[in-house]
């Protein structure tokens, strides 16, 4: 259902992942995952090593945060993020590159899977593993389904359907074995369920390589599935529908149809955390764009300032008009180049004015292309009108809360109406109204008890 077909522009697909030299100072945010921000557990002046815990989970849905460098803690305080909003960052002045004892930094592949599932999940939790597909949801929570739900399949998302992004592709090619072991760990932990590694058909080398790796390593129950090229094929709900032919209901979680979806990079992080005791301290970032001369896939330590990465690769090109953290469809435009990377940073994209400047809005011609493009089957032409008139009841009746904010509607509108900008607000109001109703119902129930 729905979807659009932008040109995939995978111009950096031949660039192998190279480690970026460590910046002189890193700024590690304590709010880089879904859920409660973590609580710093170091103090100014402390010496830290790579992989050392510097912030502890701030609630059940939260994650450990580890130092990505070795050095001295210089400050803990507010610093503007990508969007210019201040959030707590731990500033560390880098000294050397000393890793915490116990972390296996060798390249040896460890293929024996641990027996104890509970211990495995705890290792994943201690490794600060969060969903690296962009959502940064704490993985150990996803792997602990609520009582009554059962996982029937683990899906490893190697679609990378956003144009320009190639870090997952390179990870599949260069660290395919680790990814497959990570997938094996995940399927074991969820109850030895079948596992599908889904890769879009524009990555035939990756598909072939992973098939070889699975055969070589001899794991049972893991298969590769070639997916039709389409954005947003890699969207969690869309992927589950394509692989398992089940649609996750509105407001429900994937586990309700028996699916657990993890990104390729998350599977790699699971391998590192479980087999190598290595927490998340770095991630692959694609730096790309036609106007950017030195495209690259870099392995970047968490907390590296974006300006450092850009300067290393030659600086901002003169004709770059917009810098995006992420892909062109769902990434966030950067207004503050001093912001630091977080675990979820996957790409830095440079677009020219011609590629990105929006055209002025004109009248809706009721062509229906937005509804045709919507992967959730919604009617953006209607939702935008309701959102701009602030009709929250009608927005809820027309399922605005189901919007996954993929951007297909705005992308396809011939009248250049800025659909998603307004629908996003409408979705927010509906979710707010739903939460308020739930809170009122809860309060009424408790009052009735008394």
Partner 1 sequence: MTSTIIWTIAVVTVLGLVLALVLYLVAQKFKVEEDPRIDEVEKAMPGANCGGCGFAGCRAFAEAAVKAPNLDNNFCPVGGNDTMAKVAAILGYEVKAKAPEVAVIRCNGTCEARPRVNDYDGYASCQVKATLYTGDTGCPFGCLGCGDCVNACQFGALSMDPATGLPVVDQEKCTACGACVKACPKLLIELRPKGPRGMRMFVSCVNKDKGPVAKKACANACIGCGICAKTCTHDAIVVENNVAYIDPAKCKLCRECEAMCPTNAIHGVNFPKPLDKDAVKTRIKERQQKAAEAAAAAKAVKEEKKDE
Partner 2 sequence: MSKLLVSPSPHIHSKDSTKSLMRDVVIALIPAVICSVVFYGWQELLVLCVSVASCVLLEWAITKYLLKQPSTIADYSAVITGILLALNVPYTTPWWVIFIGAVVAIGVAKMTFGGIGQNIWNPALVGRVFLLVSFPTYMTTWNHPQGLFGADAISGPTPLGAIQEGLMQGSTIQELTSAYDYKSLLFANLGGSAGEVCALALLAGFVYLCCRRVIKPWITLSIFATVALTSLIFWSIDPSRFTDPLFNLLTGGLILGACFMATDYVTSPMSLWGGVVFGVGIGFLTMMIRYFGSYPEGVSFAILIMNSVVPLLNMWFKQKKFGRK
Q: Where on the chain is the footprint of partner 1 (CB under 8 A)? A: 80, 82-85, 322, 333, 335, 356-358, 418, 421-422, 424-425, 428
By CB under 8 A, name the one of 27, 64, 137, 381 that touches partner 2.
Answer: 381
For 289-404, list the strands marked E by DSSP: 296-301, 320-325, 332-333, 347-352
Q: Which stretch binds partner 2 (CB under 8 A): 95-103, 136-144, 365-373, 387-395?
A: 365-373
Decide whether 49 or 424 has the Cβ nearer to partner 1: 424
Q: How far apart are CA 435 and CA 285, in angstroms?
A: 36
Q: Which of 80, 114, 163, 194 binds partner 2 (CB under 8 A)?
A: 163
CB distance 121 to 274 below 8 Å: no
Pairwise CA distance, residues 75 & 62, whole Å: 22
415 interface partner picked from partner 2, partner 1, none, CB below 5 to 8 A per type: partner 2
The whole-angstrom separation of Cα 182 and Cα 441 is 42
Length of the chain, please? 450
Smallest gap from residue 353 Cβ to partner 1 (A): 10
CB of 422 to partner 1, least distance (A): 6
Q: From the list partner 1, partner 2, none, which binds 85 (C-beta under 5 to 8 Å, kind-based)?
A: partner 1
- Helix axes 167-174 and 176-189, enclosed angle (nearest 10): 90
Instruction: Identify whether the C-beta of residue 230 lies closer than 8 Å to the C-beta of residue 161.
Output: yes
Distance CA 429, CA 199 (A): 35
Pick from 116, 122, 311, 353: which binds partner 2 (CB under 8 A)? 353
Residue list 171-200, contact with partner 2 (CB under 8 A): none
Which does residue 405 bind out of partner 2, partner 1, none, counting CB within 5 to 8 angstroms by kind? Answer: partner 2
Phi, psi of 86 (to 5 degrees): -75, 135
Interaction partner, residue 402 (partner 2, partner 1, none; CB < 5-8 Å by kind): partner 2
Q: DSSP strand E in 165-302: where?
A: 195-200, 222-227, 259-263, 282-288, 296-301
> Closer CB to partner 1, residue 20 or residue 384?
384
List the one residue from 215, 359, 447, 448 that touches partner 2 (CB under 8 A).
359
Q: Rule CB under 8 A: is residue 259 a binding residue for partner 2?
A: no
**Residue 305 sits in the site that holds partner 2 (CB under 8 A):** no
User: Which residues share a beta bridge with 227?
Assistant: 200
- Of the pair 140, 369, the CB lying nearest partner 2 is at 369
Q: Looking at 54-62, 129-137, 152-160, 322-330, which segment touches partner 2 (CB under 8 A)?
A: 322-330
Query: Can you state the percent helix, strand and coil of the chain, rounding each to 5?
Result: 30, 20, 45
Provide, rounded to whole angstroms, the least separation between the CB of residue 234 and partner 1: 24
CA atoms within 13 Å, Cβ hemisphere of 318 = 0
Query: Residue 408 burial (CB < 10 Å; 0-12/13-18/19+)?
Result: buried
Instruction: Specify whether the CB–CB gap between 205 and 243 falls below 8 A.
Output: no
Backbone angles phi, psi at 401, to 5 degrees: -70, -15
Using the Cα atoms of residue 69, residue 286, residue 138 and residue 148 in order, give the sign of their dihedral.
Answer: negative
According to CB under 8 A, which residues from 221 to 240 bind partner 2?
237
Query: Which of residues 4, 50, 155, 383 is near partner 2 by CB under 8 A?
Result: 4
Least Å from the CB of residue 424 to partner 2: 7
**Least distance in Å: CB of 83 to partner 2?**
9
- The residues that touch partner 2, with contacts defined as CB under 8 A, are 1, 4, 6, 163, 237, 241, 247-250, 252, 316, 318, 320-324, 326, 328-335, 351, 353, 355-359, 362-369, 371, 375-379, 381, 399, 402, 405, 407, 410-416, 420-421, 424
């Amino acid at each position: 259902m729905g979807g659009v077909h932008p040109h995939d522009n995978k111009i950096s697909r031949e660039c192998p992942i190279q480690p970026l030299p460590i910046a002189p100072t890193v700024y590690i945010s304590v709010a880089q995952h879904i859920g409660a921000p973590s609580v710093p557990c170091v103090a100014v002046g402390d010496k830290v090593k790579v992989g050392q815990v510097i912030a502890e989970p701030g609630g059940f849905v939260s994650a450990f945060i580890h130092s990505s460098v070795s050095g001295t803690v210089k400050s803990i305080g507010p610093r503007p993020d990508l969007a210019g909003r201040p959030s707590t960052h731990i500033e560390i002045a880098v000294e050397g590159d000393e890793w915490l004892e116990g972390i296996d930094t060798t390249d040896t592949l460890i293929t024996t899977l641990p027996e104890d599932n509970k211990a495995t999940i705890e290792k994943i939790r201690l490794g600060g593993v969060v969903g690296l597909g962009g959502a940064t949801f704490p993985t150990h929570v996803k792997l602990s389904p609520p009582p009554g739900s059962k996982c029937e399949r683990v899906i490893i998302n190697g679609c990378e359907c956003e144009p320009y992004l190639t870090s997952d592709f390179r990870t599949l090619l260069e660290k395919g074995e680790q990814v497959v072991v990570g997938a094996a760990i995940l399927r074991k932990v969820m109850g030895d369920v079948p596992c599908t590694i889904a890769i879009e058909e524009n990555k035939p080398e990756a598909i072939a390589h992973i098939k070889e790796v699975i055969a070589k390593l001899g794991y049972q129950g893991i298969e590769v599935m070639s997916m039709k090229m389409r954005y947003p094929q890699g969207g969690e709900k869309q992927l589950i529908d394509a692989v398992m032919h089940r649609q996750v209901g509105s407001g429900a979680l994937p586990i309700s149809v028996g699916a657990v979806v993890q990104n390729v990079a998350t599977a790699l992080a699971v391998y590192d955390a479980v087999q190598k005791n290595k927490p998340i301290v770095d991630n692959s970032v694609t730096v790309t764009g036609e106007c950017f001369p030195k495209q690259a896939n870099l392995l970047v330590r968490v907390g590296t300032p974006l300006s450092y990465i850009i300067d290393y690769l030659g600086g901002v090109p003169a004709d770059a008009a917009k810098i995006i953290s992420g892909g062109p469809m769902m990434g966030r435009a950067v207004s503050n180049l001093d912001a630091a990377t977080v675990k979820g940073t996957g790409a830095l994209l440079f677009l020219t004015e011609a590629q990105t400047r929006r055209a002025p809005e004109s009248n809706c011609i009721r062509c229906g292309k937005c509804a045709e493009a919507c992967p959730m089957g919604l009617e953006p032409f209607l939702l935008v009108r309701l959102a701009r008139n602030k009709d929250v009841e009608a927005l809820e009746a027309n399922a605005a809360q189901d919007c996954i904010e993929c951007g297909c509607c705005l992308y396809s509108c011939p009248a250049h109406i800025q659909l998603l900008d307004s629908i996003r607000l409408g979705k927010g109001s509906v979710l707010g109204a739903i939460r308020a109703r739930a809170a009122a119902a809860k309060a009424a129930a408790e009052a009735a008890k008394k």
